[in-house]
Amino acid sequence: MKEFFAENFPNVPRDNIETLKASEVIHQSLDLVEFVLHLEEKLGLEININTLGEKLITKTFGELADDLVAIGSGSQ
């Protein structure tokens, strides 16, 4: 996540990224999709936007990371 934001949103502070929500940083659907595709590539997962659903805009990146771990381990 940090890598994606460093590359695409250099103004976003990287130190406390886990406390931010994606909706506070990402305002265009294309960027949101790029973010999901970046996660897919780095994690080797196929992520359905509907699986994460509204969590993508209501949860913090830290909470999203927990959800991604759950998806990766097959428990979600």
Partner 1 sequence: MSRYIRAIYAPLVGLRLSNQELLKTISSWFEAIEADDAEKTALFDFVRLLLIGNRYRYNQAGAEFLLVNGFAEHAAAFSRAIEESTSAIAAEILAQPPHQAFDAVFGVSSEGLLLPGIAERTAAKLPSLIGRTAMQMDLGNGGCTASVRAIQLVQNLSAEFRNVLIVVAEPGSTLVDPKSTARSNWQGICTFGDGCAGVWISDEPGDGAVELGKLASWRGDAIELIRWDWGSDYYRFGIAELEQFEVKVRAQVLEAMNILQLEKGPDACWAIHPAGIMLLLSLAKKLGLAKADLEPSLSHFKACSNMSSASILHILKNIIVCAKPGQPIRWLSMGAGFHVACGTGIRM
Residues that bind partner 1 (CB under 8 A): 23, 26-34, 36-37, 40, 46, 48-51, 53-54, 56-58
Least separation in angstroms between CB 15 and partner 1: 25
Select 1 or 56, whichever has its Cβ closest to partner 1: 56
Q: Would you tell me the crossing angle of helices 61-72 and 29-43 to the nearest 10 degrees?
A: 50
The residues, any chain, with a CB within 8 Å of residue 11's CB and separated by 6 or more, are none
Query: Strand, coil or helix: what is 9?
Result: coil
Least separation in angstroms between CB 28 and partner 1: 4
